[in-house]
Amino acid sequence: MRVVVSEQQLGKTGEPTLNDVSEAVVAVFGTDYGMHSPTWITRFTDVTRQAASYREGRVLLAGDSAHIHSPIGGQGLGIGVQDAVNLGWKLAQVVKGTSPESLLDTYQAERHPVAARVLRNTMAQTALIPTTDRVEALRDTMSELPSVAEPRKRIAGMMSGLDIHYDLGEGHPLLGRRVPDLDLATEDGQVRVFTLLHDARPVLLNLGGPSAFDVTPWADRIQLINAKYADVGELPVLGEVTAPTAVLIRPDGHVAWTGELTAPALPAALTTWFGPPAS
Ligand SMILES: Cc1cc2nc3c(=O)[nH]c(=O)nc-3n(C[C@H](O)[C@H](O)[C@H](O)COP(=O)(O)OP(=O)(O)OC[C@H]3O[C@@H](n4cnc5c(N)ncnc54)[C@H](O)[C@@H]3O)c2cc1C
């Protein structure tokens, strides 16, 4: 059983007790139904705030230190972990001297808008909670929307975070998005894309057959995988997408570049994201 009760006064401090919950339930139902042995009691609010800057010199913010909001919709932990995964590899490269400090600026550029949007959608959801005639009418109206495919996909993409799209410029629909977990056939057998990311290293995925691209100058950082795929299928939010010939995947699973392995933009993208070629 889980019970959520509202307190009339904001600002209580200290740990809430079973007695506090019991009194609140009795106030509504006249009984606490004999509740006992709680496994977890906590107090939270819908306070909604975001740090203006995620970085000040050597101090970087991620997770709830960067953004807090109502827990409604269960999005806080997910975006906090994504912050850390977005930042971790960039920080490692800057610390190791493979990339310039400016790489860290992409952390703020990519992650700040994501949390700002979650703050907005959680504020919108909390507006639907109060039990008044008008809010109930709004709640009924809103709950009709997911019965229609398009709003359902849009809302599901937003709540799950699968619609996150970093602005990495114009190009293939996958650019800046999380790479799909495709089934691949490689010379070492069947493998899924996400398995290739377990080493937290960038992956250059060649889906276009034999290629003369020489990855040697980046081979200390990047895995080049030659593979065939069965079908991209229908992706969340995007729908049906044709797979690009080659995909450069960052350690956080987002697509940094797509195109032909012969394109001059590939060495440029490798340098931008993973540092210059080794001499
Ligand atoms: C009731 C409730 C339900 C939730 N449900 C969900 C859900 O279903 N799904 C979801 O995704 N998210 C949910 N969240 C949000 C999620 O819990 C948070 O977003 C997430 O825990 C934040 O993780 P964090 O590591 O950034 O911060 P925290 O979990 O707050 O971790 C920070 C840690 O730092 C410690 N600390 C603080 N100050 C110091 C100090 N000076 N020195 C050393 N240590 C310190 C703290 O004790 C704490 O352990 C919920 C939140 C609440 C309140």
Quick one: 93 and 37 in the same domain?
no
Ligand 1 contact via 63 beta carbon (within 6 Å): yes
Long-range own/partner contacts, residues 172-176 (CB < 8 A, 24 or more apart)? 172/244, 172/255, 172/258, 172/259, 173/238, 173/241, 174/238, 174/241, 174/244, 174/247, 174/255, 174/258, 175/255, 175/256, 175/257, 175/258, 176/254, 176/255
Q: What pLDDT is recorded for position 203?
A: 97
User: Containing domain of residue 37, as a range?
Assistant: 1-43
Please report, for the domain that includes residue 221, its CATH number.
Answer: 3.40.30.120
Distance CA 201, CA 28 (A): 55
Which atom of ligand 1 lies nearest, measured to the CA of 80?
26
Using the atom order of ligand 1, give the atom closest to the CA of residue 62: 26
> Does residue 69 form part of some domain?
yes
Residue type, 123: M
State whether 56 and 39 are in the same domain.
no
Q: Domain check: are 155 and 216 in the same one?
A: no
Amino acid residing at 40: W
Q: Element (H or E) spanning 68, and its range?
A: strand 67-68
Q: Looking at residue 123, what is its pLDDT?
A: 97
Q: How far is the CA of 20 from the centre of ligand 1 (A)?
A: 22
CA of 64, closest atom in ligand 1 = 26
Q: Quick one: 56 and 123 in the same domain?
A: yes
Look at residue 166 and tell me if it is in a domain. no
For residues 244 and 233, give the distance between their C-alpha atoms in angstroms, rounded to a whole number: 13
Answer yes or no: is the C-beta of 41 below 6 A from any ligand 1 atom.
no
Query: How does strand 255-259 pair with strand 246-249?
Result: antiparallel
Does ligand 1 lie within 6 Å of residue 13's CB atom? no
Q: Is the pTM of this model over 0.85?
A: yes
Domain for residue 190, yes or no? yes
Domain presence at residue 165: no
Specify the pLDDT at position 212.
82
Do 243 and 149 sit in the same domain of this protein? no
Within-domain flag for 168: no
Using a 6 Å cutoff on CB, does residue 76 contact ligand 1? yes
Mark whether 136 and 60 lie in a shared domain.
yes
Q: Is residue 11 a part of any domain in this protein? A: yes
Number of domains in the chain: 3
Rg (CA), the chain: 24
* Residue 118: other Cβ atoms inside 10 A: 23
Backbone angles phi, psi at 185, to 5 degrees: -105, 115
- Give residue 209's pLDDT: 87
In this structure, the answer to whether residues 193 and 244 fall within a common structural domain is: yes
Question: Over its length of 279 residues, how does the chain's per-residue pLDDT go in tens digits?
Answer: 999 998 888 888 889 999 999 999 999 999 999 999 999 999 999 999 999 999 999 999 999 999 999 999 999 999 999 999 999 999 999 999 999 999 999 999 999 999 999 999 999 999 999 889 999 999 999 999 999 999 999 999 999 999 999 999 999 999 999 999 999 999 999 999 999 999 999 999 999 988 889 999 999 999 999 999 877 778 888 888 888 999 999 999 999 999 999 999 999 999 999 999 998
Whether residues 56 and 33 fall in one domain = no
- Which has the closest alpha carbon to 75: 174, 149, 155, 4? 155
Residue 169 is assigned to a structural domain of this protein: no
| CB 252 within 8 Å of CB 203 | no
60 shares its domain with 13: no
CATH code of the domain in which 61 resides: 3.50.50.60
174: in domain? no
Residues 62 and 151 reside in one and the same domain: yes
The residues facing 225 across adjacent strands are: 205
**Same domain membership, residue 104 and residue 188:** no
Beta strands 67-68 and 49-50, pairing class = antiparallel
Whether residue 132 is found in the same domain as residue 192: no
Report whether residue 82 contacts ligand 1, using a CB cutoff of 6 Å.
no
